[in-house]
Chains A and B, each alone.
Chain A
């Protein structure tokens, strides 16, 4: 078969379809519209977000064929998908990793648009639809976490319910509306299922459509140059002239970069999914299994971190008002500044703001991940007293070390680098507090420490203070008498066959001390 005949065979049905639908006439301008020549690698993140969203829809529909949206067996159905369905785990992994990737790409895209001032005239609505897309995607991420229906999902809903419950007057009704009833149960999962698979994806698809239409209408913004000022009255004319003169067609000139970047992202996604596997499901969603440390997924970790750092007095107000204020500010961005300079170098205040917001989110996320305010719940019974703190102690001090574990001090205080971070590490407490001060602190609490006075008898108190008074680097004075060099006897007992008899400090002691 020769080439000409082949072309004819292909051409005829194509022409027929074009005649009846106009699809080529419709899509040609979409592909060939001119974009700025300067639109280079900065502009790939929006496309990547869209690609991940497509992956979400495809994998989501696939998972929808197996997932049981019912509180009584959602968790089991996920285990079944993971373990029994061929490649089921891979689909879940793709869906989970692609969700994270979409949030990340979206954040970078938004940051780029903000830093380049691309939201200014005439692209205000591009920004605003983008803000609503961001909210929709975050809502998809949260409802997706609920779909896992494990302990984190259950208690995450509990946290959400407790926040909603704080709304004045209507809190109770709003919580019932959110949970679909007075408890977290079957109706809750189905409500979030409807949100996750119908309402939010529908909203996202619609918003993506509007977002794309606005891009076609207003064009892709050029790379900002210092001195090229946006003047609303003349901007459109100038932009169209420049596109006419120096623009390049979107396809293939700009699209090729998108293709390269999206291809790399896609390959990375598959490898991440294949190597690290799906997220969860964690423990069974049984609220009577309370040996759990509920944590949200990463996109919400910064909120989890923030709510632990709020002062109790203003906590409710901040929790309820700040999201509203945040959304209003985001929506208002293009109206607060919709003309003038776009170049980052001419907008130092805006750049500082962006850097501040990013750093705040990163820092709060880190706080959320490490959760230094959370007690290590089994610290007292799981973390042994390190050797350097039991060596050479008297029997009473040793009992004090046991009391230290017994009274769960370790849940909030570190020794030798292990333990809770809620309170200060106590490795060198004797250099900071005298025995009397330690007694007072343990008995009365204070500074966010509970009072232990009623729960420790005099012998326990004496022993624990005796133990704590030995916690200091070798050769450093205790603080009982200011200025006096009165080290308590910390030395190895003189025993004939002790491996530690002799002079000098055993290596572990000095190492343990100097590393703090």
Chain B
């Protein structure tokens, strides 16, 4: 097989063939013309078959790898507990299990957020991730600021940027109150491309 292809390459036109060492070994006898024609067909046929097979094999492999980028992950409404857990005028830490999770996620499926009750029945729910590079922000009740430990992003209590490198305010979850419970629309890791 390799001899065949070498002979083919040599004949097809890489005349000088001093570009690579491969041709140098082709010290085989000059092929008979008849054989040569058959080999030419065989080579093209083989290359075509290999190409088709390769594409057929590549489709599932590539599809498997880029699968996550094509999937449409849907957020779901997540229960953060009764609204009385979140007193008016205060900002509280809340955690939930991510509705989009896999069996092997372990602790990584846990998610945290900050719930601010602006007044009774009116909430702001902030993602834990700093809008700069995603580190977990912490709430400071006394100065009414969120601070980020990574690059010093600081936000006011309403989530607007106060200082530091973040390009925008904190990401907010959509929320609703149903049956006395606070629900948020959560799942995907928040990012700049879209609000959570």
Contacts and interface: CB of A to CB of B under 8 A. Distances in A.
Interface stretch (A99-107, A248-256, A327-335, A450-458): A450-458
B111 interface: yes
Contacts, number: 201
B42 interface: no
**Prevailing SS type, chain B contact patch:** loop
A287 B100 CA distance: 15
Contacts of A72: 103-107
B28 interface: no
A501 B150 CA distance: 46
B109 interface: yes
A449 B163 contact: yes
Nearest to B110: A288
B132 interface: yes
A162 B165 contact: no
A384 B103 CA distance: 46
Contacts of A166: 192
A422 B152 contact: yes
B108 to A, nearest CB: 5
Contact of B107 (A172, A286, A308, A452): A286
B192 A186 contact: no
Interface string B145-172: 1011111101010000011111100000
Contacts of A406: 142
B148 to A, nearest CB: 8
Interface stretch (A17-25, A90-98, A174-182, A264-272): A174-182
A166 to B, nearest CB: 6
A461 B139 CA distance: 22
Contacts of A159: 133-135, 150
Contact of B134 (A161, A308, A312): A161
B144 interface: yes
Interface string A443-477: 00100111110110000000000000000000000
Most chain B beta carbons < 10 A, residue from A183, A374, A407, A448: A183
B107 A292 contact: no
A173 interface: yes
Interface string B118-146: 00000000001100111111101011110
A73 interface: yes
B191 A162 contact: yes
A235 B162 CA distance: 62
B13 interface: no
A161 B128 contact: no
A192 to B, nearest CB: 13
B169 to A, nearest CB: 13
Interface stretch (B1-9, B51-59, B68-76, B174-182): B68-76
B112 interface: yes
A485 B132 CA distance: 46
Contact of B133 (A158, A172, A174): A158
A294 B147 contact: no
B193 interface: yes
Nearest to A377: B149
Contacts of A449: 163
B95 interface: yes
A154 interface: yes
Contact of B68 (A180, A316, A411): A180
A261 B7 CA distance: 49
B162 A450 contact: yes
B195 interface: no
B12 interface: no
A408 B68 CA distance: 42
A183 B135 CA distance: 14
Interface in A424-440: none
Contact of A294 (B93, B105, B149, B154): B149
A286 B110 contact: yes
Contacts of A292: 136, 149
Contacts of B140: 380, 408, 411
The 10 A-B pairs at the shortest CB distance, nearest first, are namely A72-B106, A186-B104, A450-B162, A158-B134, A308-B151, A185-B105, A162-B134, A173-B69, A286-B107, A290-B136
28 contacts: A70-B104, A71-B104, A72-B107, A159-B134, A162-B129, A162-B133, A171-B192, A171-B193, A172-B193, A173-B70, A175-B189, A176-B68, A176-B69, A179-B189, A183-B98, A183-B111, A185-B105, A185-B109, A187-B68, A287-B107, A287-B108, A290-B128, A292-B149, A308-B151, A312-B167, A315-B167, A408-B145, A445-B163
